[in-house]
């Protein structure tokens, strides 16, 4: 591999990400853009040195910190790959900039807003009309099981549980996981399966394929407006955040939450500890072995 070109090495690196780490297609595409963009600036990534890394930092000066952080992450992983493969003798990526990109806390709905959203959806679905019942079913799975938008709309009919109260979901990078379905969600799901049009392999069919993410966003925002909740506060991901935060408030373990959400790294899940920091402080005060002891003791 030592004589391979920069373009070939980028392809080899991306193939490794896909095969060994199960990276999603969007991640592969983003890394490709970042690496090819860096090579356009430097001429050759494998032969780049520390000064070249500083040059990249200067070229990215006007970009958002989060964008720079992503580009740097792509390059650090790429150079780590080249080092492991024996293509380069030393890793120059230590000289890349380290922007302090602060991850924003997720937007969530409070319990009252969630209740209002469900009350509206349940009221509209009482007559078992297909469209309102479909919306209620999707709402149950977004908030009740914490699914991502893409995971939800692309669910095959075969994922619907028969005996066990679980859905089989294919998440990022093609990774499958089991997510629980509550008793109430199972009831709504059963009603929808009986009412939906037959002949499609998807749980939420639309035309020759499945419902789109864009249409899912639209349906949720329309429902929120009818429930007197600002449409800007609603999205599938906001409902997923509410699922996670409200579970944490109820005492769920962070590792369990990581499994339910399908996070590869628990660091991604830990953002919810900032949302529910008050409960965590109370938990330490109540459960720590020294909680009942005073300084005089």
List, by residue number, the catalytic residues. 148, 172, 237, 240, 263, 272
> In what helix (H) or strand (E) does residue 257 lie, and over which residues does it extend?
helix 254-261
Distance from the first to the final alpha carbon of the chain: 67
Distance CA(136)–CA(276), nearest Å, equals 27
Q: Looking up tokens 């499945």, which residue turns up?
A: 210
Nearest partner of 173 among 10, 68, 2, 28, judged by Cα: 28
Nearest partner of 107 among 281, 224, 271, 264, judged by Cα: 271
What number of other Cβ atoms are within 10 A of residue 198's Cβ?
7
Distance CA(171)–CA(50), nearest Å, equals 38
Q: Give the three-class secondary structure for 289.
A: coil
**23 CB contacts (<8 Å, ≥6 apart)?**
17, 31, 173
Helix axes 236-249, 130-145, angle to 10 degrees: 50
Distance CA(202)–CA(157), nearest Å, equals 5
Q: Give the three-class secondary structure for 15.
A: helix
Residue 156's beta-bridge partner residues?
A: 202
């Amino acid at each position: 591999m030592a004589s391979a070109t920069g373009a070939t090495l980028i392809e080899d690196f991306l193939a490794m990400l896909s095969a060994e780490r199960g990276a999603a297609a969007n991640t592969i595409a983003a890394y490709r853009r970042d690496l090819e963009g860096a090579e356009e600036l430097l001429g050759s990534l494998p032969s780049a040195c520390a000064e070249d890394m500083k040059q990249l930092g200067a070229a990215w000066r006007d970009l958002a910190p989060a964008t720079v952080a992503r580009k740097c992450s792509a390059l650090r992983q790429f150079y780590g790959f080249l080092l492991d493969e024996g293509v380069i003798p030393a890793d120059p990526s230590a000289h890349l900039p380290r922007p302090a990109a602060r991850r924003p806390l997720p937007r969530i709905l409070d319990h009252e807003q969630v209740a209002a959203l469900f009350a509206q959806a349940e009221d509209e679905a009482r007559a078992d009309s297909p469209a309102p019942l479909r919306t209620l079913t999707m709402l149950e799975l977004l908030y009740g099981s914490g699914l991502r938008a893409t995971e939800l709309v692309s669910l095959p009919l075969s994922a619907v549980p028969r005996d066990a109260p679980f859905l089989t979901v294919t998440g990022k990078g093609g990774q499958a996981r089991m997510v629980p379905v509550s008793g109430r969600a199972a009831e709504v799901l059963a009603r929808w399966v009986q009412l939906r049009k037959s002949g499609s392999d998807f749980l939420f069919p639309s035309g020759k394929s499945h419902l789109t993410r864009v249409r899912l966003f639209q349906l949720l925002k329309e429902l929120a407006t009818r429930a007197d909740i600002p449409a800007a506060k609603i999205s599938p991901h906001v409902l997923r955040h509410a699922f996670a935060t409200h579970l944490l408030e109820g005492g769920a373990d962070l590792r369990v939450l990581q499994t339910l959400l399908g996070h590869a790294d628990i660091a991604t899940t830990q953002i919810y500890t900032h949302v529910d920091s008050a409960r965590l402080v109370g938990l330490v005060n109540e459960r720590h072995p020294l909680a009942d002891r005073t300084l005089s003791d």
